[in-house]
């Protein structure tokens, strides 16, 4: 007898529930990071199976009506809980009456009760037998950083901005690739792209940067994945140019993989100043001689010629129009045979992932479109981007380390450079930047370099 789809999914739920229960009841499942990871993985497996079962039995009209209404009320409740810091006013241990909670928060008791009772249908807070409010495992996360920051940003900032997507289409038309013609611009009434807007309005940008800090600490985005994303030991006594490398986290991971390498981290003046300040530097003392920092915008023509360039989580913030410009600014410095290593999202073909992973991937892509008119690219879209930029850029490999949300895209520049090089001796590195592309190194008081003349570059 062949099981139906529903029966198969239900059986999978039952098996996963048994494994999780067994794990929770076992003595070895109690403590330790590895034990926590195993328990979390089992919980996620059961969650994914249950989600698939739920989707398969959900009435079609329910998905278009009640689920939609529920999503709206979810966001409304979360915005209220965030705006008035409700979770922090509920005792970590014990409970509190609705009246005392309303008094503490200086809000209306009736509205508070109705919002909380809706949240309780999602197991966020619970009502005790005596009718008081207490925390659940989920609501406690709203007291701490990390998840709390993400929840607050999504409901208070993300949702209002996303709701302006259609208005952006009405204003600028369909298919815009401009970073300042987005739902973000409609909501904030600004002509600045998001990153520029937050630079000029740091208080407004603070929650966004907190969310990014939270994401970078998640296992899927750990810098540890850089170590296994590429065979760094295949390089010997090479300098890696880490473009847009911020404080140098990626470079530290690279240098830990091969003691013969050195890195130049390039970024804008503010992160470079922070990276080189002894009080805010994250570079270990024993690596300081192998990592240097340089002010450089990836929009500007690259002046440092090297064998390897590394760019992490940059291109997914930009549409093809601007991603091509970033690549074209790098090409003049690349010699034939030089590698470009891009660590970024590579979306999988539709339907090849588990339903939960598929949904998360599509959510990221929607977010890039709404905030930047950018996208998360699949393999073909990456290939098209490289083809638009320069036919000499050859894709060698795409590798995704186990557990990583990011893939490493390895490119090599084939063929001869389109510009001619000449050797000169300059008095200082500053002068070399005025002329062209630095290839050599400082020898005594002089800098021996190979440069491409500005005239040749313009030709």
Integer Cα distance of 210 and 154 in angstroms: 12
Q: How many CA atoms lie within 13 A of 331 on its CB side?
A: 21
316 catalytic per annotation: yes
How many Å is the maximal CA-CA distance in the chain? 84
Q: How many residues in the chain?
A: 459
The SS3 call for residue 265 is strand
Q: Backbone phi, then psi, for 188, in 5-degree steps?
A: -90, -5
Out of 174, 316, 372, 399, the active site residue is 316
Q: What stretch of H or E contains 408?
A: strand 407-413
Sheet of strand 422-426: strand arrangement: 422-426, 446-451, 441-443
Nearest to 225 by CA among 37, 34, 406, 379: 406
Q: What are phi and psi of 241, to 5 degrees?
A: -95, 110
Distance CA 452, CA 390 (A): 19
Cα gap 80→74, rounded to integer Å: 10
E strand or H helix that includes residue 369: helix 355-372
Q: Looking at 298-452, list the stretches that DSSP marks H as alpha helix, in order from N- to C-terminal side.
A: 320-330, 355-372, 379-389, 429-435
Give the Cα separation of 1 and 154 in Å (integer).
47
Cα–Cα dist 377/346, whole Å = 6
Side-chain half-sphere CA neighbours of 145 within 13 A: 10
Which two structure tokens, joined as six digits, stand for 241?
A: 């140019």
Q: Phi/psi at 393 (nearest 5 deg)?
A: -75, 115
The catalytic residue positions are 316
């Amino acid at each position: 007898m062949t099981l139906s789809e529903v029966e198969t999914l239900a059986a999978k739920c039952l098996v996963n529930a048994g494994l999780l229960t067994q794990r929770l009841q076992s003595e070895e499942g109690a403590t330790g990071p590895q034990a926590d990871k195993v328990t979390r993985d089992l919980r996620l497996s059961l969650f994914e199976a249950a989600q698939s079962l739920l989707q398969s039995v959900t009435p079609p009209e329910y998905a278009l009506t009640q689920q939609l209404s529920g999503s709206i009320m979810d966001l409304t409740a979360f915005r209220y809980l965030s705006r008035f810091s409700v979770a922090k006013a509920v005792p970590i241990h014990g409970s509190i009456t609705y009246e005392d909670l309303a008094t503490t928060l200086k809000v209306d008791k009736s509205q508070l009760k109705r919002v909380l009772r809706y949240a309780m249908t999602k197991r966020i807070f619970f009502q005790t037998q005596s009718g008081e409010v207490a925390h659940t495992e989920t609501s406690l996360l709203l007291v701490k950083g990390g998840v709390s920051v993400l929840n607050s940003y999504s409901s208070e900032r993300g949702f209002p901005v996303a709701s302006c997507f259609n208005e952006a289409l009405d204003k600028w038309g369909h298919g815009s690739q401009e970073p300042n013609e987005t739902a973000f611009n409609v909501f904030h009434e600004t002509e600045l792209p998001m990153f520029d807007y937050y630079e000029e309005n740091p208080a407004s940008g603070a929650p966004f940067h907190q969310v990014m800090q939270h994401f970078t600490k998640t296992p899927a985005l750990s810098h540890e994945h850089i170590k296994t994303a590429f065979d760094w030991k295949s390089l010997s006594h090479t300098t890696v140019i880490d473009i847009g490398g911020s404080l140098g986290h990626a470079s530290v991971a690279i240098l830990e993989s091969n003691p013969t390498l050195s890195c130049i981290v390039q970024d804008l003046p503010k992160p470079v100043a922070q990276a080189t300040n002894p009080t805010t530097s994250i570079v270990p003392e024993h690596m300081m001689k192998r990592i240097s920092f340089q002010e450089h915008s990836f929009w500007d023509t690259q002046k440092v010629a090297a064998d390897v360039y590394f760019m992490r989580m940059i291109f997914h913030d930009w549409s093809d129009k601007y991603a091509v410009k970033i690549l074209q600014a790098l090409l003049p410095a690349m010699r034939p045979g030089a590698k470009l290593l891009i660590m970024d999202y590579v979306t999988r073909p539709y339907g090849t992932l588990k339903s939960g992973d598929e949904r998360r991937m599509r959510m990221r892509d929607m977010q890039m479109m709404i905030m930047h008119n950018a996208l998360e690219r699949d393999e073909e879209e990456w290939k098209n981007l490289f083809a638009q930029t320069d036919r000499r850029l050859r894709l060698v490999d795409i590798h995704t380390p186990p557990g990583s949300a990011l893939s490493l895209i390895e490119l090599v520049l084939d063929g001869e450079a389109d510009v001619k090089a000449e050797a000169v001796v300059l008095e200082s590195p500053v002068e070399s930047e005025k002329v062209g592309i630095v290839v050599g190194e400082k020898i005594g008081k002089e800098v021996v370099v190979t440069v491409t003349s500005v005239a040749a570059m313009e030709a």
